Structure 1
């Protein structure tokens, strides 16, 4: 499982809008989404991918990192793999 963080995504942006946006740039559909409230001005989402590895997501990251979307410049990072220990 791998995770993609997208910062500067408002809470009212729907999962469907995010899937459509990512799909335009060739990213695979995510399996789940978690909205993360920001400390005032930087809310975001964590997208989870069951069958996509982090290395694959890193190849897609430059396509959308720092893009202007929905009145914000978005920040995109592949999250480090967490140990299940």
Structure 2
């Protein structure tokens, strides 16, 4: 399972909004989501994808890395394999 850390999302962004945004750029549905609030100024989510290759996830993440969404510049970083 691969994980993607999507940082600097707008506080209060719902999972549904996030899913619609990612689907618009070709992402499959995630298997797990973990909200990472930090200090609240730059919230993030950790998304786990089980049915995608590392190469495909890398190409998709490049589409949204540094993109402005809801007034914020997103940061997308592949964290790697995750074995629950």
Q: TM-score range by the shorter chain?
A: 0.7 to 0.9
The structure 1 segments of at least 4 consecutive aligned residues displaced by more than 4 Å after TM superposition are none
Task: State the partner residue of 2:2.
Answer: 2
Match of 2:78 in 1: 78
RMSD (Å) for aligned C-alpha atoms: 1.5
Q: Deviations over 1:21-55 (max 9, x none)?
A: 01111111111211001234221000111222322
Unaligned runs of 5+ in 1: none
Cα distance in 1 between the residues matched to 2:31 and 2:18:
12
The count of aligned residue pairs is 83
Question: 1:17 — aligned with what?
Answer: 17
Q: How many Å apart are 1:20 and its aligned residue?
A: 0.5
- C-alpha distance in 2 between matches for 1:66 and 1:28: 20
Given that residues 11 and 40 in structure 2 are in contact (C-alpha distance below 8 angstroms), is that contact kept between their aligned partners in structure 1?
Answer: no
Query: Is the 8 Å Cα contact of residues 5 and 44 (structure 2) preserved in structure 1?
Result: yes
Is the contact between residue 32 and residue 47 of structure 2 (CA under 8 Å) also seen in structure 1? Answer: yes
Where 1:80 maps in the other structure, the secondary structure is strand
- Normalising by structure 2, we get a TM-score of 0.86
Q: What TM-score, normalized by structure 1, do the two folds share?
A: 0.85
